[in-house]
Amino acid sequence: MTIVRHDTKARMSRAVIHNGVAYLCGQVAGPDARHGDIAEQTRSMLARVEALLDEVGSDRKHLLSATVYLKDGHDVAAMNEVWDAWVPEGHAPARTCIVAPMPADELKVEITVTCAIIKG
């Protein structure tokens, strides 16, 4: 069984692929959006997810699961508004949303995604 690791560092890989499934590391808003509100951070974070999905040979229609971490539970509705517009209709993954500390004070949201690989 082959395991392929993408952009591996000392603590983590950006993605790990095994048996046609990609496990993406946690994604947060890019530097330009880190001081924005929850909607801006969610859009930035999901754009980064989409770029990584493309890099590993997948897309939004092939999401299997997502775990969303929010710094503040009051941000669920605003995050969901951006999320709902991003996920293609009929292709919602299994999803969990929890409140948790963030890796940096300015961050409001982080996501971990698994997806099916669809191209070479």
pLDDT score at 85: 98
pLDDT at residue 120, rounded to an integer: 62
What fold, for 3-116? 60s Ribosomal Protein L30; Chain: A; (3.30.1330)
Please report, for residues 2, 3, 19, 54, 109, the alpha-carbon distance to residue 48 in angstroms, rounded to integers and kept in the order given.
Answer: 26, 23, 23, 10, 13
Of 100, 90, 102, 110, which is closest to residue 41 (Cα–Cα)? 110
pLDDT for position 86? 98
- Report helix, strand or coil for 43: helix
> Parallel, antiparallel, or unpaired: how do β-strands 13-18 and 94-99 relate?
unpaired
- Provide the residue ranges of all domains of the chain, joining segments of one domain with +: 3-116
Average pLDDT of adjacent 10-residue blocks, the chain of 120 residues: 93 96 98 97 98 97 98 98 98 98 96 92
Q: What is the pLDDT of residue 119?
A: 82
